[in-house]
Structure 1
Amino acid sequence: MSSKIRIYHNPACGTSRNTLALIRNTGQEPEVIEYLKTPPNKAELVHLIENSKLSVREALRKNVEPYETQKLDQPHWTDEQLINFMIEYPILINRPFVVTELGVKLCRPSELVLDILPAPQLGALSKEDGEVIIDQDGNRLK
């Protein structure tokens, strides 16, 4: 059975790794897109942002070099210009975005992915920092 789950993933990010683990905990293998290697095109990025009900600024990662050097915190930047920066510098795209048949969500914190996963959780799962998200009975703790 092919997965209808897609994650825009950065393996260097703990939140992204936790989100991927939560998806896999359902017994499904998502399509993993390492967005720094294979960035979304402009239409895909706009789709992710719009369908997650975020503003462009909310989807923008702020603690990275291009944000600071380009002074993207200034209010004169239009959404179109910010999207273009995100296409040029994919590190500016906040992550992980997850797409399922139930919706699109920026999964920060990682347990937000549970709101859009179509399958029940199979077993206990903890974040990398040890915080238990799903108990041994498969119940969500948050």
Structure 2
Amino acid sequence: MTMDVTIYHNPECGTSRNALALIRHADIEPKVIEYLKTPPSGDELAKMIRDAGLSVREAIREKGTPYAELGLDDPALSDGQLLTAMLEHPILINRPFVITPIGTRLARPSEVVLDILPADAFKGPFVKEDGEKVLDAEGRRIV
């Protein structure tokens, strides 16, 4: 299937690996951006967050990051200050962000990516790394 898909990916993250595998299961080869090596620009990051319907705070990763050390839990910080911190420390960007012509999502959990891929693209089952079944034998989402 031909579809312009971009994933801001961290290969060390199981959720990110599962989202990438789901995209590829739809027979789509996305543009993979390892955002820790090649972070988005401030404008790109702000647009991804906005297009995903998130607040900047919702797009920040706390676990395994310098979030607390940087005092980012301070409610007085502006979106601009939070974005600046995310750009200075890309590990603070929650992942994976996936962009398709259908929409943009922070694919947490990874099966959220199904919302922005063609429903008829899946042929057969899909199981996440941890064994959780996501698609049945006919490629339909398991709820």
TM-score tier, shorter chain, comes to over 0.9
Q: Does 1:85 align with 2:85?
A: yes
Q: Partners in 2 of 1:49 and 1:56 — Cα distance?
A: 7
> In the alignment, which residue of structure 2 is the partner of 1:23?
23
> In the alignment, which residue of structure 1 is the partner of 2:137?
136
Letter in 1 for 2:23: I
Letter in 2 for 1:124: P
Total equivalences in the alignment: 142
Q: Partners in 1 of 2:96 and 2:42 — Cα distance?
A: 17
Q: Does 1:112 align with 2:112?
A: yes
Gapped regions of structure 1 (runs ≥ 5): none
Gapped regions of structure 2 (runs ≥ 5): none
Give the aligned CA root-mean-square deviation in angstroms: 1.2
Task: Check the 8 A contact 1:111/1:133 in 2, yes or no.
Answer: yes
Question: Where do 1:1-142 residues align within 5 Å?
Answer: 3-118=3-118, 120-142=121-143
Q: Output the TM-score relative to the length of structure 2.
A: 0.95
CA shift for structure 1 position 2: 5.4
Aligned-partner SS, 1:123? coil
1:79-119 Cα offsets, whole Å, 9 max, x none, are 00000000000000000000000000000000000000035
Q: Partners in 2 of 1:126 and 1:99 — Cα distance?
A: 22
Q: Output the TM-score relative to the length of structure 1.
A: 0.96
Percent identity, aligned pairs only?
56
1:13-43 Cα offsets, whole Å, 9 max, x none, are 0000000010000011000000000000001
Q: Partners in 1 of 2:78 and 2:9 — Cα distance?
A: 26
